[in-house]
Amino acid sequence: MLPAGRPVDDHINELQGLLAKGDIVVEGGNSYYREDIRHEQELEPFGIHYMDVGVSGGIWGLKLVTVDDRRRPGHL
């Protein structure tokens, strides 16, 4: 798990060069939802799916939070 903010941005940028159309990035951290929207929009033109399955409370994990995205691949 990465801390929210710049570390997540940096890793997504690095992954983008390694992933192919149809791949899925599952973000399991505690990023602010607007950052998740931005990440999804940045990856979408490349056909890379983004799904936020964050943990409320960060690394201390108070509860699991999933995003209901009807555009995600059916196998998730």
pLDDT tens-place string over residues 44-69: 999 999 888 766 665 555 555 555 55
For residue range 21-37, list pLDDT tens digits in order.
999 888 877 788 889 88
Give the pLDDT of residue 39: 92
Give the pLDDT of residue 66: 55
Give the pLDDT of residue 10: 94
Can you tell me the mean pLDDT for 1-21?
89
21-24, Cβ contacts within 8 angstroms, sequence gap of 24 or more:
21/46, 21/47, 21/48, 22/47, 22/48, 22/49, 22/73, 23/48, 23/49, 24/48, 24/49, 24/50, 24/51, 24/72, 24/73, 24/76
